[in-house]
Structure 1
């Protein structure tokens, strides 16, 4: 379960960062490019992913 949380957290953090950059227009070439909604949703998803990653790593460290 801890490994799943770590992997999911990392994927969500990366996806959120990409969505943020696309929403801000930094990464062009997507339907999401320049759409403010993705510039708002992206950081929320990225922070959620980082929190999940942190909890997964803390649990893994505690269980050793």
Structure 2
């Protein structure tokens, strides 16, 4: 059960990271009033979150 939870959280982290990258770059401007749109620092935060998520997926699959 713990393995499934870690992998699931990892997938969510990757998903959120990709959304943050899209919003930070301006390619995913949704919602239109978001403070993250076209803000380059959110691309960095998203990349970091996606990498942490990938690490969680790898760690969870090795459990």
What stretches of structure 1 of length at least 5 have no aligned partner?
60-64
Aligned to 2:62: 58
Higher gyration radius (CA): 1
TM-score, length of structure 2 as denominator length: 0.86
Kindly report the root-mean-square deviation, in angstroms, between the aligned alpha carbons of the 2 structures: 0.8
Aligned to 2:10: 9
Q: 4+ runs of 1 displaced by more than 4 Å?
A: none
Aligned to 1:36: 40
TM-score, length of structure 1 as denominator length: 0.85
